[in-house]
Amino acid sequence: MNQVDYLRISLIDRCNFRCQYCMPEGVELDYILKQQLLTDEELLTLVREVFIPVGFTRFRLTGGEPLLRPRVAELVSAIASLSQTQDLSMTTNGFLLASMAQSLYNAGLRRINISLDSLDPDVFDQIIGNRGRSRWQDVWNGIQAAYNVGFNPLKLNVVVIPGVNDHEVLDLAALTIDKQWHVRFIEFMPIGNARLFGDRGWVPSAELRQSIRARWGLTEAQVYGSGPADVFQIPGAKGTLGFISQMSECFCDRCNRMRLSADGWLRPCLLNETGQIDLKTALRAGVSTAELREQVKQLLTIKPEVNFKQRDSGTAGAYTRTMSQIGG
C-alpha cells in the first residue's frame, strides 16, 4: 500500500457543463448551498493544521468546475505558498481557462488536467450536454493558453464512452506526437449514470493500447504526477499516453489519495465512504484541529481496507450520486 499523501479537494459541486458521465440528463442535482461550502479560511485551516501535519503534501483542486469558485487564484496562491506543499495541481473542463491560465500560473499552479473527450465539436457538445453555441473552441483555446503559459505536464483527460467517442482514440492519441501533451484515457465508470452505463459498459484500456500499438507501436514511459495511470509513449512522440483502468484493472492497492468534498466531508475512496468524516461541521462546532488530526489519522489506518469494488452496504448509494456530487 502506498503512503497516502495526496488529497483531492473539491472547491465547488457546480459546473458549467453537464457531461454524460458526470451529471447525466434525468438526474436531479441537489447543489450545495453557498453557506454549506467550506470557506477559503476553513479550507486553508484544514490544509495547514490538519492535512499537512498528518502527512499530506500533494493537493489537487477539483469540482464540479473549480474555476467557478470565486477568488480561485488567491486560494491557489495560499496553498502553493505553504512550504510543505510539494505538488499542487488542478482538474478543469477548460471552458474558462483561456482568460485565467496566466493568473493561475502566476499564483503558483504548475500542473493542470483538462477534459477533452472529443476533437469533434458536435460529439463534444453531445457529451457535455450543450444545446447552444458550441463550447469546443473555448476549451481548445483554454488548452492552447495553458500550453503557451508553460503548464507542464499538461494532461488531457478523455473518458472513453463506447459508441460515442471511442472511434476517436487514435486521433486523440496523435495529439501527443508533436506537442508535449499527455493524453489520458479513462475507463467509463457507473457513477450516477446507471442507465447510460448499463446500455454500453466501458472499453478496457487493454483494447485501446492494442489499437494504438497496432498503428504506431508503444513503449513504456513516465510522466510526473500522483495518479494511477499506466503510462506509455508512441515512439518518438514528445508527449505520453496514460491509461486509467479502474474498471478492468483495479488499482486500489496503489491508491495514495483521499477526497475532501466541497462541503467538508473527507472520504477515503471515490465510491466507498467507510469511515468518512464531516470536518466542516466539526470545525464550525469548535472541535480543535488537534482532535480533527486524530480523526484523520484513524481514517488513514483503515484506508488500506477500503476498496471501491467492495463497498459496504452503507455506501452502495455512491453509485446513484454523480461525480460532481462526490467530488471526483
Confirm whether pTM is higher than 0.85: yes
Other beta carbons within 10 angstroms of residue 11's beta carbon come to 26
- pLDDT value at position 130? 85
Phi, psi dihedrals of residue 325, rounded to the nearest 5°:
-75, -30
In a domain, 1, yes or no: no
C-alpha to C-alpha distance for 63 and 327, rounded to whole angstroms: 6
Phi-psi region of 192 (alpha: psi -120 to 50; beta: other; left: phi over 0): left
Q: Is 292 helix (H, G, I), strand (E, B) or coil?
A: helix
User: Please, what sign has the CA dihedral across residues 149, 155, 159, 163?
Assistant: positive
Domain count, the chain: 1
Residue 171 has pLDDT above 50, yes or no: yes
Residue given cell 458536435 in the structure block: 122
Q: What's the average model confidence in pLDDT over 255-260?
A: 92
Whether 89 and 112 have beta carbons less than 8 Å apart is answered as yes
Residue 99 has pLDDT above 80, yes or no: yes
Residue 224 has pLDDT above 70, yes or no: yes
Residue given cell 458526470 in the structure block: 22
* CATH number (domain holding residue 201): 3.20.20.70
Q: What is the 3-state secondary structure (H, E, C) of 258-291?
A: EEECCCCEEECCCCCCCCCEEHHHHHHCCCCHHH
Domain extent, residue 122, equals 6-326
- pLDDT value at position 212? 98
